[in-house]
Structure formats: structure tokens, C-alpha cells
Structure 1
Amino acid sequence: MNTKRRAISKDTFGLSGQIAVLTGVSSGIGRACALALGRVGVKVVVNPLPEASDEAAEVCREIEAVGVDAFAYAADVSNETQLAAMFTETVARFGTLHILVNNAGIMFADGAMSTYPAFRRAG
């Protein structure tokens, strides 16, 4: 049995050069995922709500500091038109998309599953 430990490096998972879109990146798990992907060479599109644009810009600066492209696109994930525009911009800038991390949290107090449109917004 091989018990030799190997450190995780930029090449461990072969993600360098991939393109990722992450929602809910202003703090917590989403922020940590965006930074981790950036550190291994993934070009990152961070998707904050408009009111969290400053935090998203900081995440982009941290990713760019390690030499990887990143940009923020503020959009409400419950709005299909805004999402379509975000993906169109992503493909326009980077040519494709490989990874999607749906981290945004949406909560409805009035029973999101009671109607089909509400269910669709809950994603």
C-alpha cells in the first residue's frame, strides 16, 4: 500500500484554464470556492447581487492577484433575463463555460413550491 502523501497543487485536478461561473460569492462558501478555483488557474465569473458588488470586486481583485482572469457580473439569479445576459457576457469574454457553482441562496416566506413560477425562481 502506498502511504506517501502528495500535496494538492495547481495541477492536481487539471482545472487550469477552465471557465467557472459562481453565484452567491460575496462571502462564506461561495467566496471561498471562487478564490480556491482562481488559485488553481480557473478563470472566474463571480455573480453577486447588485448590492454586493463591492464584495464581489474584492474577490475578483484577489483572484487577479494570482494572475488569473476574473470579472463580476451582478445579476439576480431569480431573473432569467439577467441570468441569460450573464452567460452571454461570459461566453463573449471567455469563449465557453466549463463549471457552474450554484451557491446563491433564495428563500420564500410564502411557500415557493405552491406555484410553478415560484418553483422556477427557487432554482
Structure 2
Amino acid sequence: MTVMDTFDLTGKVALVTGGSRGIGRAIAQALGEAGAAVAVTARTEDAAEQAAVELRGAGIRSFGIALEVSDAADVERAVIAVSEQFGEIDVLVNNAGISIGGAALEVDDQVWRDVMATNLDGVWFCSRAVARRMSTRGGGTIVNIGSMSAEIVNQPRWQISYLTSKAAVHQLTKGLAAEWAPLGIRVNAIAPGYIHTDMSPVYEPQYKPWCVDPAPMKRAGEPHELGPAVVFLASAASSFMTGSIVTIDGGFTLH
């Protein structure tokens, strides 16, 4: 086996939550290009299926399914459906997440609950559901999408619930990695910095001095720049890694 062979995901089945747009969509594309069959989820069937259609158009075997990651029963349903459609899941990417701004003394309690339910509970429910099945057949890989916001406080937009949820995702990653290593399940995470998507106006004048200028590379990342790292963590190329948090932020957290 050559070094490049270790990145090959041919014959593997991957599930990417929140895979219909932005970062999740780019990750789904990367996993598919590495050879995996890719199931993508979104909160609506239409959004999930549209992404799957695009992936199939690129020659990637894909399946779209609606999923509310904060609902444990819905997670179980989706995992069963993907397994019946494609076979057992070898790679889980917990990407689904939300960010709702608001000053800590002003933000509504429901915002806190909604962000935690999606960003943290969703990772837990999906990881548990998939790991139960992985554990019966020798293991698999889980890649969580954390954030550099687990270590810094983003400004000028306050978002206390998001910061807290991503810090928890990083610690959850480490805890599950330690507990599930004997089962053959590796759990790692990436911690993106500011990524340029339709939902992230990092280059707008009011945000650029805070989000772009402080980074040594003087730019935001693009979604496709995260895909290769996820392929690495999902594949045998990272066979001796578990519990790691890989920061991809253009150097933002160096200062």
C-alpha cells in the first residue's frame, strides 16, 4: 500500500450531517471524490436531496435524507435508513450546527437551548447511534466539526451559546476517543477558523477588521479547504490518531 492508498475511501459509506450547503457540502464532495458513498442530511428532504443530486452529477454515489439531529429518535431512524440504503456507516461527520448571536445578558433562553440541542446534543446522538453499530463490526471513524471558537471569544458579534457548545464538542471528542478506542472507533475533530460561505459575511467592512485582518494569512478559508483534512481523519492515513483537534484557521489563533 502506498501513502496515497491510505487516503482511499473506496467501498466506505459516509454520513455527513448538515451536508446540503457550505462546509458540509464541501466535505461531502471531498469524501465522495475519495471514493466513499455519501449520505447527506438537512432539515428538509428537498435540501438534502438537492445536494445528493449534485453529488451524483459529479459521479458520487449519494443519498439525501431529512434529519433533525437534536431528536434522538429521528437520528436512529436516519441511521437505519442510510444503512439500509448503502450498507453500514464507516465514516460519520458531525457537521450540523447553528450560530445565533446575542449578548449574554440579553439573549433569550430558547436560543441557548436551541444552539446546545443542535451543536452538542446532535453530535452526541449521532455519534452514539452510529457507534453502537460500528462497535459490532470492528470500528469506524467519526469526525466532529468543532471550531476555533472553542478556544477564543469571537468579536464583535457576541455568541456565548456557540462558544460554549463548540468547547463542549472538543471535550466530547476527546472523551469518546478514549472510551471507544478499544472498540476500534477513532474520534477526531477539526476546528475551522473563519470560513467564507453564503452565511458568513467575513469580508463585509464591519467584520473584516475582526475576522480577516488578524489572521497571518490575511484571508478567510474556503469550504473546500476543509475537505482534505476530513478525508485524512476519516481514512487509514490517520490510523494512529484519535482524540485530536486539528485547527484550520489561517493562523488566526496564533496571536
Identify the residue that residue 48 of structure 1 maps to in structure 2: 42
Structure 1 position 57, deviation (Å):
2.1
Identify the residue that residue 66 of structure 2 maps to in structure 1: 74
Distance 2:122 2:29 in 1: 27
- Supply the RMSD in Å over aligned alpha carbons: 2.9
Identify the residue that residue 53 of structure 2 maps to in structure 1: 61
* Letter aligned with residue 24 of structure 1: G
What secondary structure sits across from 1:73 in the alignment?
A: strand
Distance 2:27 2:87 in 1: 22
Determine which structure has greater relative contact order: mean sequence separation of CA pairs < 8 Å that are 6+ residues apart, divided by chain length. Answer: 1
5 Å-filtered alignment, 1:96-107, equals: 96-106=88-98
Deviations 1:23-59 (A, max 9, x none): 1112111010011111222101101002xx3332232
Distance 2:58 2:8 in 1: 17
5 Å-filtered alignment, 1:1-123, equals: 13-50=7-44, 53-106=45-98, 109-110=108-109, 111-112=112-113, 120=121, 123=124
Structure 1 position 94, deviation (Å):
1.9
Q: TM-score when scaled to structure 1?
A: 0.73
Paired residue total: 110
Could you tell me which runs of 5 or more consecutive residues in structure 1 were left unpaired when the two chains were aligned: 1-8, 113-118
Structure 1 position 106, deviation (Å):
4.0
% same residue: 37
Q: TM-score when scaled to structure 2?
A: 0.38
Greater radius of gyration (CA): 2
CA contact (8 A) 1:107 1:122 kept: no
